[in-house]
Structure 1
Amino acid sequence: MDRSWMYNMTNFGRMGLRPEFVEGVIGFVEYAKTLDPFQRSGMIKCPCNKCQCLNYEKPDAVELHIYRNGFKKEYTVWTSHGEIDNNFDVFQHYVPGESSSDVNSNAQNYRIDDMVQDAFGVHSDFDFANQGEEAPNFECKIFFEQLESASRPLYEGSPHSQLSIAVRLLSIKSDWSVPQGAMDSVIDLIHDLVDPNLEIPDNFYKAKRLVSKLGMSSMRIHCCDNGCMLYYKDDIDLESCKFCGKCRYKQTASGKKVPIKAMHYLPLISRLKRLYASNRSAPHMRWHHEHRRPPRVMCHPSDGEAWKHFDRTYPLFAAEPRNIRLGLCSDGFTPHSVSAAPYSCWPVFITPYNLPPEMCMTSPYIFLNCVIPGPRNPKVLIDVYLQPLIDELKQLWVQGVETFDVSLKQNFNLRAALIWTINDFPAYGMLSGWMTTGKLACPYCTENTKSFTLKHGHKNSWFDCHRQFLPMDHEFRSMKNAFRKNSVEQGYPHHLLHNL
């Protein structure tokens, strides 16, 4: 269907809206009214350039938004409104079992609700009569049952559920730094204003407990103030550091003991399992295997030599396309203003690379794994803070975890491998242990480096290392005075760099 009218709003000279555009918008709204969200709640997703299909609005408000802001970019195929884009091998479709609790004007909460309703919608339609289909494992079955119970509308025709309200309350508390006591008072007021029979969380604690059913738990691990160790596993009951002897706790004015330093850790395994619990992500986790490109065509990390070399080295791992390849990214930043005291905070992110290019590096699939506290740069002690992540990666590589794939309705043993890190050169030295300063800073050239020390500045320099990448008959190789004085280049680059 020709939808060029969507991006041709106004007449010449911006003199009013074009009739074709107005007619098209009315047709779009009429079409959106035929979808399940409108039938259940009377609201539809707004595709204007401001809302970006994240907010639900009344039909009249959607028309007004589009007239003011126009459609969002490149939305000629209405994938968020039930259509399938045939130009991509991606299953972007609407889940018929989506509950009315999706009605949420908060974009941050929308992502959570979207995942919940995807999982619930697929679970409600399970039919295991077909050959090769299995029932979910015990853990996944409990997860789906809890979601089904918490996602029921508060009353017939209600756009909210007990879970969606809990998510909104927690988001408000986080966004506006509302104290817990104030949040409990607000919840009490809500109970006084609405029907007492409605299943609304009684206080902040119960709201937090309800949201924990999503399986996205977090841990607070106490650390030594000097970064020597974590109070973790066998050392969880220690009162002082076993290396430097520094005390674990400090005493407040009220006499309560609080940890001097703590790290927030978000477990990785539960988040990888949730990728297979949602129908919006589970089919795409096999994309890298089902959409192989011809040789010398690069459009995804799986086309690179590093990925192919890993597959050749570990064929059993590569034989299961649902096994996950991970990338790790970490760098320091200062969360406070420049005028404040120096504080270096190090977040660690994990990204699964099985997904197609348009999903691979988007924010919903970049998992915050832990936040290494400051105020000092951890430097070589960063591996101390990465112990919980390393333990999970070892489990995923050696043993694997039982996972239910909702797209194929099968249980399988999920394994994962960390195949690379993404960071700047100083952080590379911290994560790998390679000394990135001095003459041997290059991890490829090592002792064959062409670096030299400046005569007067006494600094290491890598000037004139680039000529080795030129063809052997190139005129620049024989120039003695144009580059480094009295120097000609007759060597070859390192074989790893040469292959690139």
Structure 2
Amino acid sequence: MTENVDKTWMNLRKFEEKYILGIYTFLEFAKKNSVSWNGYYKCPCMDCGNMLYQNEEDIIYHLKNFGITKTYTVWDQHGEVTNIPTASQLRLNMIRNIASSSHNVNPVVNFVEDAFPFNERYNANESFAEEGTHACDVDDVASKVIDAYSKLLAEMNTPLYEGCIENSLCTLLRAISLKEETGISIKAFDKYLGFQKSLLPTPNKLPKSYAEAKKILKGVGMGYEVIHACLNGCFLYYKEGDMHDQCPVCGLPRYEDVGNKVLMKNVRYFPLTPRLQHLYMSKYTADHMRWHGQRETSAHDDVLRHPADGEAWKDFDRSYPQFASDIRNVRIGLSTDGFIPFGDSATPYSLWPIVVIPYNLPPSMCMQKEFNILTM
């Protein structure tokens, strides 16, 4: 349903009276036009970002204290309908045009689609606006993400060299895949690329080195955060701890050279949230993430096929019925194990990777290495 709702309050400061009144206007709109989950609605505050469900009282509290996401100008997560195509609609239309000349969609198209799985908020079968210049609602995706996506599309539509039937992105992905499968070193891979490039007509789009290849594919990854750590591993300079210049546990300094800020040690953290989101965003895994709540079970079946069949899982459901009521909520297992990476050939030290396992997936998938998520 489309209504003419005044949204100017969204750009005001949180303590202004018009902003406070706007919160209640939004909530009435959401109650009237969207479907709730047992009285819970998506919360558009800066903290939840329409990813979490909250009750009315908590939504009001969040919007008053955290503020509303200012780019959420079309309330389509709460029932508003607009004729302005979103970035995800335009992307899907572009992919359809690329694939229209062939009976089969290029697998590289699927790769790009999974790398940038923007939230499809509308039915994929509805008709799009006529081709031409469109106003585009980009509230669901940051401009820098669209730029990275556009660069990959450009690579996908650029031949490796003039007259070549292979595009540069497909060739690059096959080369990177070859490196990962064979385990060759970066130095050997650089020499391989240099040799292959010398055999191709000039000019060509084959990268000269592994570093150049990574630069092209930079937008595909989900990134990581570098967190400063104590040399003895007893403290992380993270969030509130970032204010310290020495370890509050053992007293060791944070930097080798305070003037140049040379770190003693750091830890790489791979944020979990975007990785779990991609499991729902990809068409290959989204249905499987609801398997645990949709599987067929028998009252007389005592076979333990999956953690969902266990008593611990059932006890958790009884203890937290609100969480359990939505089968899309993610259940994860946390595991770690230490090992000495170089044996006796170097100074011995232990390495402890932390791995997260999404138990929403069926048994045939959740324990596969592709779905074991390394977090740090």
SS in 2 for 1:336: coil
1:353 CA drift (Å): 0.8
Aligned to 1:66: none
Q: Does 1:128 align with 2:124?
A: yes
Please give the alpha-carbon distance, in whole angstroms, between the structure 2 residues aligned to 1:175 and 1:242. Answer: 41
Decide whether aligned partners of structure 1 residues 128 and 154 sit closer, same or farther in structure 2, where only a CA change above 3 A counts. Answer: same
Q: Where do 5+ consecutive residues of structure 2 fail to align? A: 1-102, 128-136
Equivalent residue in structure 2 for 1:288, among 279, 288, 292 = 292
Decide whether aligned partners of structure 1 residues 339 and 234 sit closer, same or farther in structure 2, where only a CA change above 3 A counts. Answer: same
Please give the alpha-carbon distance, in whole angstroms, between the structure 2 residues aligned to 1:305 and 1:136. Answer: 43
Please give the alpha-carbon distance, in whole angstroms, between the structure 2 residues aligned to 1:358 and 1:287. Answer: 11
Question: For 1:435-474, what aligned pairs fall within 5 Å after superposition?
Answer: none
Decide whether aligned partners of structure 1 residues 151 and 327 sit closer, same or farther in structure 2, where only a CA change above 3 A counts. Answer: farther
Aligned to 1:403: none
SS in 1 for 2:277: helix
Number of aligned residue pairs: 255
Please give the alpha-carbon distance, in whole angstroms, between the structure 2 residues aligned to 1:121 and 1:349. Answer: 24
Please give the alpha-carbon distance, in whole angstroms, between the structure 2 residues aligned to 1:201 and 1:170. Answer: 14
Aligned to 1:260: 264
Deviations 1:363-395 (A, max 9, x none): 11111111xxxxxxxxxxxxxxxxxxxxxxxxx
Bigger-Rg structure (1/2) = 1
Deviations 1:332-376 (A, max 9, x none): 112122565432111111010111121121111111111xxxxxx
Please give the alpha-carbon distance, in whole angstroms, between the structure 2 residues aligned to 1:315 and 1:212. Answer: 41
Equivalent residue in structure 1 for 2:168, among 161, 174, 194 = 161
Q: Does 1:356 align with 2:372?
A: no
Decide whether aligned partners of structure 1 residues 350 and 121 sit closer, same or farther in structure 2, where only a CA change above 3 A counts. Answer: closer
Please give the alpha-carbon distance, in whole angstroms, between the structure 1 residues aligned to 2:374 and 2:360. Answer: 18
Decide whether aligned partners of structure 1 residues 279 and 100 sit closer, same or farther in structure 2, where only a CA change above 3 A counts. Answer: closer
Aligned to 1:337: 343
Decide whether aligned partners of structure 1 residues 335 and 137 sit closer, same or farther in structure 2, where only a CA change above 3 A counts. Answer: same
Please give the alpha-carbon distance, in whole angstroms, between the structure 2 residues aligned to 1:307 and 1:211. Answer: 40
Equivalent residue in structure 1 for 2:225, among 189, 211, 219 = 219
Please give the alpha-carbon distance, in whole angstroms, between the structure 1 residues aligned to 2:351 and 2:247. Answer: 22
Query: TM-score with structure 2 length normalisation?
Result: 0.55
**Amino acid in structure 1 at the alignment position of 2:111:** V
Equivalent residue in structure 2 for 1:274, among 274, 278, 292 = 278
Deviations 1:121-162 (A, max 9, x none): 998x9963559xx99932598376555444446357644532
1:239 CA drift (Å): 4.2
Contact residue 271 and residue 375 of structure 2 kept, 8 A: yes
Question: For 1:382-461, what aligned pairs fall within 5 Å after superposition?
Answer: none
Q: Does 1:305 align with 2:300?
A: no
Deviations 1:10-34 (A, max 9, x none): xxxxxxxxxxxxxxxxxxxxxxxxx
RMSD: 4.2
Contact residue 186 and residue 210 of structure 2 kept, 8 A: no
**Amino acid in structure 2 at the alignment position of 1:332:** G
Equivalent residue in structure 1 for 2:353, among 344, 347, 354 = 347
Q: Does 1:250 align with 2:245?
A: no
Please give the alpha-carbon distance, in whole angstroms, between the structure 2 residues aligned to 1:301 and 1:211. Answer: 37
SS in 2 for 1:346: coil
Q: Where do 5+ consecutive residues of structure 1 fail to align? A: 1-95, 103-114, 371-500
Taking every aligned residue pair, what percent have the same amino acid on both sides?
34
1:202 CA drift (Å): 5.8
